Amino acid sequence: MAHESGRFAAITPEQTSAVRSVTDLAVLVEQMREDLLGSGAREWENATLDRFLKALAAVAEDRAFEGTPTWADVAELLVTATGYE
Phi and psi, residue 12, nearest 5° = -85, 160
Evaluate whether 51 touches 30 at the Cβ level (below 8 Å): no
- Higher-confidence residue of 51 and 1: namely 51
Whether pLDDT at 32 is above 60:
yes
Q: Does the pTM exceed 0.75?
A: yes
Quickly count: other Cβ atoms within 10 Å of residue 17's Cβ: 13
pLDDT in tens, 37-84: 999 999 999 999 999 999 999 999 999 888 999 999 999 999 999 999
Provide the CA 12 distance to its chain's centre, in angstroms. Answer: 10
The Cα–Cα gap between 68 and 8 comes to: 25
The Cα–Cα gap between 39 and 55 comes to: 19
